[in-house]
């Protein structure tokens, strides 16, 4: 798909059918995450693929925002393997994981798979409930699947500020 179409077609899907994401499409999505850039090429991300009813049930205890998605990707990162930027105020952990997550989300769109980026959960509780190692922090969850019949973007999907409000040429 043309990149412009990939970006244009993506929207946050808030109700899924039970149709599972095909293994080859999931593989292509995960590969796009693998190719994401990270600071110093640290690749501190760790992606967990959740498809079992048992663990999907645990996700439902963490957030109301699975919306019936049959696959959820948990994007975590190794807190002990991040690059701290000069000034010591920020490090690469969340940033790198967000770039990986964006690759995953756009690759899903490219595969015709619907998605929704989720942050409406307590990341500490998520790490505990999912049994992640101590050194890993959950950045976000990515719902993946196919929209239920009749479901499409919410009205706010088309509401974006003009570039004149968000871009300044210095
Ligand atoms: C960082 C981030 C966190 C989000 N968290 C949630 C969430 O927890 N639950 C949810 O339903 N949607 C969530 N969304 C989806 C946004 O609400 C959605 O992207 C936005 O309203 C624009 O709609 P669109 O994605 O359809 O264009 C999140 C999106 C981003 C980028």
For residue 161, being part of any structural domain is answered with: no
For residue 41, being part of any structural domain is answered with: yes
For residue 28, being part of any structural domain is answered with: yes
For residue 58, being part of any structural domain is answered with: yes
How much distance in Å is there from the Cα of 74 to the middle of ligand 1? 15
Enclosing domain of residue 27: 3-149
SS3 (DSSP) at 46: strand
For residue 158, being part of any structural domain is answered with: no
Q: Say what angle helices 123-130 and 53-62 make with each other, to 10 degrees.
A: 160
The protein residue whose alpha carbon is closest to atom 4 in ligand 1 is 118
For residue 160, being part of any structural domain is answered with: no
Q: What is the pLDDT of residue 157?
A: 96
Q: What is the pLDDT of residue 163?
A: 98
Q: Give residue-wise pLDDT tens across range 138-163.
A: 999 999 999 999 999 999 999 999 99
Q: What is the CATH number of the domain that holds 49?
A: 3.40.109.10
For residue 33, being part of any structural domain is answered with: yes
What gap in Å lies between CA 27 and CA 168, rounded to an integer?
39
Q: What is the pLDDT of residue 150?
A: 96
Q: Which of 60, 119, 142, 160 to mutate to test the pocket of ligand 1 (most atoms within 8 A of CB)?
A: 119
Q: Give residue-wise pLDDT tens across range 67-118.
A: 999 999 999 999 999 999 999 999 999 999 999 999 999 999 999 999 999 9
Tokens of 14: 């808030």
What gap in Å lies between CA 87 and CA 69, rounded to an integer?
41
For the cut 90, the answer to whether the pLDDT of residue 1 exceeds it is: no
- In the chain, how many domains are there? 1
What gap in Å lies between CA 58 and CA 130, rounded to an integer?
8
pTM for the structure as a whole: 0.98
Nearest-CA neighbor of 17 among 106, 114, 154, 112?
A: 114
49-67: average pLDDT: 98
For residue 162, being part of any structural domain is answered with: no
Complete edge-to-edge strand list for the sheet that includes strand 136-145 = 45-50, 71-78, 136-145, 114-118
Report residues whose beta carbon is within 6 angstroms of any ligand 1 atom: 11-12, 14, 65, 116-120, 153-154, 156-157
User: b/e map of 8-43 (b: 16 or more CB within 10 Å)?
Assistant: eebbbbbbbeeeebeeebbeebeebbeebebbeeeb
SS3 (DSSP) at 82: coil
């Amino acid at each position: 798909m043309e990149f412009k179409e990939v970006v244009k077609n993506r929207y946050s899907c808030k109700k899924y059918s039970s149709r599972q994401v095909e293994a080859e499409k999931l593989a292509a999505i995960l590969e796009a995450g693998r190719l994401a850039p990270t600071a110093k090429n640290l690749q501190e991300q760790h992606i967990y693929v959740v498809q079992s009813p048992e663990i999907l049930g645990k996700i439902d205890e963490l957030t109301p925002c699975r919306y019936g998605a049959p696959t959820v990707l948990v994007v975590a990162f190794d807190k002990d393997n991040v690059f701290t930027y000069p000034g010591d105020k920020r490090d690469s952990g969340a940033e790198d994981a967000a770039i990986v997550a964006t690759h995953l989300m756009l690759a899903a769109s490219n595969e015709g798979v619907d998605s929704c980026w989720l942050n409406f959960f307590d990341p500490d509780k998520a790490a505990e409930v999912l049994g992640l190692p101590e050194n890993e922090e959950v950045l976000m969850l990515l719902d993946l699947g196919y929209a239920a019949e009749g479901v499409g973007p919410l009205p706010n999907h088309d509401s974006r500020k003009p570039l004149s409000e968000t871009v300044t040429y210095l």
